[in-house]
Amino acid sequence: MFAHEVLPHTIERTLYMDTDVVILANLAELFRSVDKGPIFNMGRFGSSGFLILNLFKMPLLWEKAATIKNMKNLSVEHKWGTNDQLVFDAMNHSFPELVGFIPDEFDLDIAGGAWRFRKNILTVRPRVGMMVRER
């Protein structure tokens, strides 16, 4: 969440992913397919454990996040929990115009039913790009 403060200022975008993510496709295509305009790009189904961050716009994320007065209430209401992803979830809820989306093939979670196809996931979802253990 503070990558923009520690990485060289020439790096525009970076990929953030939780440790339970398995990559199944070429990430270069992912970077080519997302809009560079938003502060970050996340899955349409709400996984904030796999994001592309626009490091040039991260100060804007913190500026906007500071204006979300009811973040703790949002966390309880939406059952997000108070974890490292709360800021991203709250931003997506409060400022959706600043959030972009990654392609659906990079938004697959095992808990959401993909576990049923674990032995033949590439047959069932041939364009699967990544899987995450759960949301």
Instruction: Return the pLDDT at 125.
Output: 58
Instruction: Return the pLDDT at 55.
Output: 95
3-state SS record for 64-126 = HHCCCCCHHHHHHHHCCCCCCCHHHHHHHHHCHHHEEECCHHHCCEHHHCHHHHCCCHHHHCC
Instruction: Return the pLDDT at 135.
Output: 47
Residue 32: pLDDT over 90:
no
Average pLDDT, rounded, for the chain: 78
Which of 10-19, 23-32, 53-62, 77-86 comes out lowest in average pLDDT? 77-86
Instruction: Return the pLDDT at 113.
Output: 54
Domain range for 80 is 3-132
What is the four-CA torsion angle of 81, 23, 53, 82, rounded to 10 degrees?
10
Name the domain count of the chain. Answer: 1
Residue 7: pLDDT over 80:
yes
Segment 78-115, tens digit of pLDDT: 666 666 678 888 888 889 999 999 887 777 655 555 54
Segment 39-83, tens digit of pLDDT: 999 887 666 778 899 999 999 999 999 998 877 777 767 666 666
